[in-house]
């Protein structure tokens, strides 16, 4: 609950605050926090405002990682977005600067229960 990722056997573990009378059959599991890596993102888009706009285009932007804020890694940046999992994930986004278009590939980290072929929710293959 202290805003850090938890892992069990290399799989991401999602924690939520305890809710009394929790019923998993009525719970909506089609939303999740997803970390997205963007490799070789143009330096024009490394500021927090630009990353927030990219995240808002994918779902609800939560934050950018501290490593990205500090430019610790120059080959990629990482953001956290609250996303719907029952829709297909985008492979890339188009970013525009003046008259230039940049196609940015997206790499989703540890998205739970997504098919790697059809991107459907609930199965892996």
Task: Going residue by residue through the chain, which has 125 residues, state the pLDDT in tens, using 9 for 90 and above.
Answer: 566 666 777 666 667 778 888 887 777 777 778 889 999 888 888 889 999 999 999 999 988 888 888 778 878 899 999 888 777 788 899 998 888 888 999 998 866 666 666 666 566 56
Give how many domains the chain has, as a whole number. Answer: 1
- Residue 65 domain-assigned (yes or no): yes
Q: Shortest CA distance to 43 belongs to which of 92, 108, 100?
A: 100
- Residue 21 domain-assigned (yes or no): no
- Residue 105 domain-assigned (yes or no): yes
| Boundaries of domain holding 43 | 31-125
- Give pTM, 2 decimals: 0.71
- Residue 48 domain-assigned (yes or no): yes
DSSP 33-88: EEEEEEET--GGG-SHHHHHHHHHHHSEEEEE-HHHHTT--SSEEEEEEEEESSSP
Structure tokens at 103: 């196609």
* Per-residue model confidence (pLDDT) at position 116: 62
């Amino acid at each position: 609950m202290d805003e850090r990722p938890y892992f069990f056997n290399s799989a991401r573990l999602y924690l939520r605050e305890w809710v009394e009378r929790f019923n998993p059959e009525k719970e909506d599991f089609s939303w999740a926090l997803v970390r997205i890596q963007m490799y070789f993102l143009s330096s024009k888009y490394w500021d927090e405002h630009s990353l927030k706009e990219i995240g808002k285009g994918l779902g609800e932007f939560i934050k950018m990682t501290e490593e990205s804020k500090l430019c610790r890694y120059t080959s990629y940046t990482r953001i956290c977005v609250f996303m719907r999992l029952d829709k297909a994930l985008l492979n890339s986004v188009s970013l525009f600067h003046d008259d230039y278009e940049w196609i940015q590939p997206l790499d989703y980290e540890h998205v739970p229960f997504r098919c790697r072929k059809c991107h459907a929710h609930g199965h892996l293959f």
